[in-house]
Chain A
Amino acid sequence: MGLAKRIIPCLDVDNGRVVKGVKFVDIRDAGDPVEIARRYDREGADEITFLDITATSDNRETMVHVIEQVADEVFIPLTVGGGIRELADINRMLKAGADKVGINSAAIFNPEFVKQAAERFGSQCIVVAIDAKCVSAEGEPKRWEIFTHGGRKKTGIDAVEWAIKMVSFGAGEILLTSMDRDGTKIGFDLELTRAISEVVEVPVIASGGVGTLDHLVDGITKGKADAVLAASVFHFAEFTIGEAKQHMQDNGIEVRL
């Protein structure tokens, strides 16, 4: 009894199609986000996150329509990230039916944007997405920095300090992705997840590296995350969301079944 830990499937959307990690030959025709969202909802997803991976203005227009269609029939929380740069972007997404927006690079270029967004729309809908990489040398105490451009560009910003700052600016949740682990299927960066989850007051979503059901359990029990996010393991149907939740419950984690 009590607040359940959440499982959040993530859909990477390009030009109205789900692209990343989906088992199809033609990646441009990988999947209809509305259909996939519907499936995850039926399987018991606690929320769904949509990530606009190219974030061009055309794409954002397409994303608005995707969210509208999903929100018409899927009655669980929806988060949209990618290309959220202005208050007007947030307003459009919320009006389309999103409940939260993920802000990533716009927060780095202009941290005040997070403050303005939280003041205007409330912290409950402002998720700050952090892409972090370990930068400490072997033997040194672990340290992580924020990277942009899909992990290619170093910012020099310490990830833990950044998370604290973003929460003080009004972020209601942190979506934390380990760029070292993303796509590797060797599990979350548990040290990174714990380092941030233990110092911020808001919920932390662990992301990057899920390959097995045990990884999801570890994210919660060892990483101290409040929610776990994964993309390809669900798209590939290596396991369903229902199976993931059952496994978490079998390991003593409170979930919504």
Chain B
Amino acid sequence: MATVAVIDYGMGNLHSISKALKKVSPDSNVIVTSNRETILSAGHIVFPGVGAIRDCMAAIRSAGLDETIKQAAKDKPLLGICIGMQALLEHSEENDGVECLGIIPGQVIKFSSNAVNSENNKIKIPHMGWNNVNYSIQNPLFENILNNERFYFVHSYHATKVGNNYVLANANYPYNFPCAIKWKNIVAVQFHPEKSQDVGLQLLKNFLNWDAKAESSEHA
């Protein structure tokens, strides 16, 4: 039986993500776990997260999961979600600056509070709600998902300085920022597929169908 490990480091709601994975792959064994062996032996790994990056990184380190995630990130298909995506990058400016796992080159910055939308109103932060996800090239993660479908976002910080060739999709608020990236065998999304109804479930299904094999040699 295929095993999917959802990494549990004590932060946030793992009920929805595990239920959503179970829904799209009823035959898989979905395990919410902080156990190193379980994570490393799983076929697919999901790395979720909500809240503030400092607490998340502290929780990851105190559970000894930073090394486990780095190990898993070498060859396993891994999906980072929201703070999970941000934690995979090098550095976040949240909480006066926090070193992240540094697995994927890139930074995390706050939305510009002076940015204005098309009606010339200052944007609200957090960026909360359903926004269009625009992918430039067809890729396995967005298979059977129309371009510019809406996914659910809730965040105040976003990825930046990610190499163009790693960006799978952008969202606009009110400027473009990377909301889905792919680095070797890792994919990471800023939005919440587990809260994005049918399109979100489709994305999770695509992830579980992805073996990352062709891709892992791409950047090697």
Contact = CB atoms under 8 A, between A and B. Distances in A.
B50 A46 contact: no
Interface stretch (B40-48, B70-78, B179-187, B193-201): B193-201
A165 interface: no
B140 to A, nearest CB: 21
A168 interface: no
B103 interface: no
For chain B, give the interface size range: 35 or more
A151 B173 CA distance: 37
A115 to B, nearest CB: 13
21 contacts: A2-B117, A3-B153, A46-B129, A75-B201, A76-B195, A77-B192, A94-B13, A97-B19, A99-B154, A99-B195, A121-B50, A121-B51, A123-B126, A124-B50, A124-B128, A124-B154, A125-B50, A201-B124, A202-B124, A224-B121, A256-B130
Contacts of A5: 129
B36 interface: no
Given A41-B197, A71-B16, A256 B128 contact: no
A17 B146 CA distance: 38
A77 B19 contact: no
A202 B125 CA distance: 5
Query: Which of A46, A94, A123, A256 is most buried by chain B, counting CB atoms within 10 A of its CB?
Result: A256
Given A75-B196, A97-B13, A203-B124, A6 B19 contact: no
B206 to A, nearest CB: 15
B128 A2 contact: no
B216 interface: no
A4 interface: yes
A94 B13 CA distance: 5
A140 B78 CA distance: 60
A47 B172 CA distance: 21
Interface of B: 12-13, 15-16, 19-20, 23, 50-52, 113, 117-118, 121-122, 124-132, 148, 150, 152-156, 172-174, 192, 194-197, 200-201
B124 A75 contact: no
Given A6-B130, A94-B13, A203-B128, 15 more contacts: A1-B132, A2-B173, A3-B130, A4-B129, A41-B197, A46-B129, A46-B130, A75-B200, A94-B12, A97-B13, A121-B50, A172-B126, A201-B122, A224-B121, A256-B150
Contacts of B156: 123-124
Given A122-B52, A124-B50, A124-B154, A3 B16 contact: no
For chain A, give the interface size range: 35 or more
Contacts of B125: 201-202
Given A6-B129, A97-B16, A76 B150 contact: no
A96 interface: yes
B132 A2 contact: yes
A41 B200 CA distance: 14
A12 interface: no
Nearest to B131: A3
B152 A77 contact: yes
B32 to A, nearest CB: 11
Interface in A179-207: 201-204
A77 to B, nearest CB: 5
Contacts of B155: 124
B128 A226 contact: yes
A202 B126 contact: yes
Nearest to A41: B197
A154 interface: no
A83 B65 CA distance: 35
Nearest to A125: B50
A138 interface: no
A60 B128 CA distance: 27
Contacts of A256: 130, 150
A222 interface: no
B16 A75 contact: yes
Nearest to A202: B124
A119 B51 CA distance: 8
A9 to B, nearest CB: 15
A2 B122 CA distance: 14
A122 B128 contact: no
A84 to B, nearest CB: 15
Contacts of A173: 126, 128
Given A46-B130, A75-B196, A76-B195, A226 B124 contact: yes
Contacts of B124: 201-204, 226
